[in-house]
Amino acid sequence: MLPLETVREFVLDRCPARAPLSVPVADALGLVTASEIISSEAIPQFANTAMDGFAVRSADVVDAPCDLRVVETIAAGHAPQVTVGPGEASRIMTGATIPPGADAVVMVERTSIVTGGPASGDGATEIVRVEVSVPPGNHVRPVGDDLHAGTHVFGVGTELTAGHLGVLCSLGLTEVEVFPRPRVGVLSTGDELVDDGSPLRPGQIRDSNRRTLLALAHRADVVPVDLGLSPDDPDEIETAITTGVQTCDAIVTSGGVSMGDFDYVKAVLDRIGDMRWMQVAIKPAKPLAFGTVGDVPVFGLPGNPVSSMVSFELFARPGLRSMMGHPDPVRPTVEATAAEDLPRRADGKTHFMRVLATPTDGGVEVRSAGGQGSHMLWAMAKANALAVVPDGDGVRAGGPVDVLLLD
Ligand code: AMP
Ligand code: MG
């Protein structure tokens, strides 16, 4: 059996980042930058007010309370027309440009109207009473307060989140250079599988892996492509995989890679690809077929539903993230505390136990999510984490355990 890290390294070496591409910012959520973003503009581009209130000359309000003549009302999106002179103020709304002459803003709550103004309707000169003195720059957001022109905003290898997209828009960018999403074909194999909801004949089961793996691919920010269901027939499997390779950047299959008489995925991939058959020192998901057909990585995952999910998490997801340019494609573990015994038997493998992780005052605690058989998908579905339990007799309640927090 091979150590997990050895196998994963082998996989990552064969999943290089795809050629960079410019895409609309609108399509870039979850993608990774392929070139550095340098700001061509300052944000904000003009000094503006952080509050609704009055733009004043701070020297005028040193002896507040004091009364000032209102010379203009400035809304966001409109340029000021009037310079604020001694003894004067301009009413100003959040985000509006600080007018020339003014150097500070007094929030509206610290002012009152003495005479005139929009409310009076009598055309009299409006006088505002400023109740507090404010220092220069009060509530003023200066040019470049968030970032200056020429700033190295995001480096290569940045995963674009909602906030990143907002910054790109703030900078006036409509496109961004990224590593594109791979199209990932997902194929189920097995004579026993039924996927149309029809009544099961003896020995048949329903295909759950394809939906699950397509969903995991979606969650990994790649483009899932449904390659359907193939019986345990070498010709049909070969047709499905060859077709997939022509339209996809990576392929994920489930089933047919173990030691059974009808595990034809193995035979087909041996013929058309450069494949490795590996026994990984983990449970579940010991068998893994991985290699390339042409330059398309192919992940031959085991058929047991939990095994296929764990195998996707440990090998396919990192490989696909590597193709998307993630500098750290492997999900990091966090240290948790076992809230109950997590027993196992020594067998030379690392066990990935399906657990429920909950936050506590000091960190995270985990308890079993239910049955740990590799066919017990229900417990996997309820789990939100995999506990990494090293070879031995398990973890006692209260003991430390590393966990992978799943999406
Ligand atoms: P295999 O890896 O083909 O030997 O399959 C191992 C186990 O997983 C068997 O019990 C299969 O019936 C089951 N299995 C294989 N493919 C699927 C699938 N797509 N959905 C649900 N179970 C599956
Ligand atoms: Mg099978």
Mean predicted confidence (pLDDT) in 3-24: 98
Q: CA 225 to CA 301: how far, in whole Å?
A: 16
pLDDT at residue number 217: 98
On whether residue 383 sits in a domain, the answer given is yes
pLDDT at residue number 262: 85
What does the mean pLDDT of the chain come to? 96
Q: How many angstroms separate the Cα of 396 from the Cα of each of 7, 207, 211, 349, 367?
A: 29, 37, 36, 18, 11
pLDDT over threshold 80, residue 123: no
Mean predicted confidence (pLDDT) in 293-298: 97
pLDDT over threshold 70, residue 119: no
On whether residue 355 sits in a domain, the answer given is yes
Tell me which residue has its CA closest to atom 7 in ligand 1: 304
Mean predicted confidence (pLDDT) in 295-304: 97
pLDDT at residue number 91: 98
| pLDDT tens digits, one per residue of 207-232 | 999 999 999 999 999 999 999 999 99
Retrieve residue 367's tokens: 């308890």
pLDDT over threshold 90, residue 364: yes
Q: CA 151 to CA 133: how far, in whole Å?
A: 35
Q: How many angstroms separate the Cα of 204 from the Cα of each of 159, 175, 275, 305?
A: 42, 49, 30, 15
Rounded to two decimals, the pTM is 0.93
Q: CA 304 to CA 297: how far, in whole Å?
A: 21
Query: How many structural domains compose the chain?
Result: 4
Tell me which residue has its CA closest to atom 5 in ligand 1: 303
Residue ending a domain, among 281, 304, 323, is: 323
On whether residue 170 sits in a domain, the answer given is yes
On whether residue 328 sits in a domain, the answer given is no
Mean predicted confidence (pLDDT) in 194-205: 96
Q: CA 97 to CA 375: how far, in whole Å?
A: 64
Residue ending a domain, among 158, 179, 200, is: 179
pLDDT over threshold 70, residue 299: yes
Retrieve residue 183's tokens: 């199209």
Q: CA 326 to CA 181: how far, in whole Å?
A: 11
Phi and psi at 377, nearest 5°, equal -70, -25
Same domain for 12 and 155, yes or no, is no
On whether residue 137 sits in a domain, the answer given is yes
Same domain for 131 and 163, yes or no, is no
Residue ending a domain, among 179, 203, 237, is: 179
DSSP structural state of residue 144: T
Structural Rg of the chain based on CA atoms: 31
> 202: how many CB neighbours lie within 10 A of its CB?
4
Same domain for 162 and 217, yes or no, is no
Q: CA 227 to CA 246: how far, in whole Å?
A: 12
Retrieve residue 191's tokens: 């004579």
CATH number at residue 256: 3.40.980.10
Same domain for 304 and 401, yes or no, is no
pLDDT over threshold 90, residue 361: yes
Same domain for 256 and 306, yes or no, is yes
Check if 303 has its Cβ closer than 6 Å to any atom of ligand 1.
yes
Domain that holds residue 120: 48-141
- Ligand having the closest approach to the CA of 191: 2
pLDDT over threshold 80, residue 122: no
Which segment of 34-48, 82-96, 122-136, 352-366 scores lowest on mean pLDDT?
122-136
Tell me which residue has its CA closest to atom 17 in ligand 1: 303
| pLDDT tens digits, one per residue of 153-168 | 999 999 999 999 999 9
Same domain for 239 and 292, yes or no, is yes
* Ligand 1 centroid distance, CA of 168 (Å): 45
Residue carrying the six token digits 């809230």:
339
Check if 207 has its Cβ closer than 6 Å to any atom of ligand 1.
yes
Q: Given ligand 1 and candidates 304, 307, 311, which is best to mutate, with the most ligand atoms within 8 Å of its CB?
A: 304
Q: Given ligand 1 and candidates 195, 201, 205, which is best to mutate, with the most ligand atoms within 8 Å of its CB?
A: 205
Same domain for 292 and 313, yes or no, is yes
